[in-house]
Amino acid sequence: MIRVIQGDITKQAVDAIVNAANTSLLGGGGVDGAIHRAAGPDLVFECRMLHGCKTGDAKITKGYRLPAEHVIHAVGPVWRGGSHGEPNLLASCYRRALEIAAENNLTSIAFPNISTGIYGYPKDKAADVAIATVNQFLEQPSTIQEVTFVCFDMENLTLYQDRIHASQ
Ligand code: AR6
């Protein structure tokens, strides 16, 4: 099941929230900064032991002070015009986050709109990739029962609502 809500991902009580991280995994601005602030300093201690993450991949930690039990740190691509593999890298980080959640027997996961802030990925194109990748993943049997897209801004909320409603 796919849900779309407007809100703050740090408030979501799900098995895992996904972070829009960078390759260092050591924190940053945007949703990454908000997640690290809400989780508390233990999160960056665990992240230091992961030795970074490649673009298009993801790594899991505990959620510490967050209501979510885990954080899956996914690294989306920086938008460089669209012909540098951006769609495949964005799809890959959604798919890897879902695979890692399933490997850990998690059932609920919430995504922010990865790459659509500081990394500059056009929001409409990113929504197409995110929804197609999640739909494709949910066609296969796995432990995942609920995927929530947590949209922070109205523009993303409308883009996701239009696309999800059109496909239901
Ligand atoms: N809850 C949900 N979504 C949020 C929140 C929140 N609390 N705060 C922001 N967003 P961004 P990126 C939305 O810039 O583009 C960091 O410095 C925001 O409106 O957080 O993947 C990392 O360390 C936007 O739609 O991530 C990287 O260096 C979406 O989250 C870099 O930014 C993603 O925006 C990653 O850039």
pLDDT at position 168 is 65
Question: DSSP label at 78?
Answer: P
CA of residue 114 to ligand 1 center, whole Å: 7
Topology at the third CATH level for domain 2-166:
Leucine Aminopeptidase, subunit E; domain 1 (3.40.220)
Joined tokens for residue 95: 């798919």
The binding-site residues of ligand 1, defined as CB within 6 angstroms of any ligand atom, are 8-10, 20-22, 28-32, 34, 76, 112-119, 150, 152-153, 156
- Tens digit of each residue's pLDDT (9 = 90 or more) over 89-116: 999 999 999 999 999 999 999 999 999 9
Nearest alpha-carbon partner for 13 in 137, 91, 107: 107
Domain limits, the chain? 2-166
On the question of pLDDT at 88 being above 90, the answer is yes
Report ipTM for this prediction. Answer: 0.98
**Ligand 1: which of 47, 59, 152 to mutate, most ligand atoms within 8 Å of CB?**
152
Nearest alpha-carbon partner for 123 in 131, 113, 132, 133: 113
Mean pLDDT of 50-78: 98
Longest dimension (CA), the chain: 43
Burial of 151 from C-beta contacts in 10 A (0-12 / 13-18 / 19+): buried
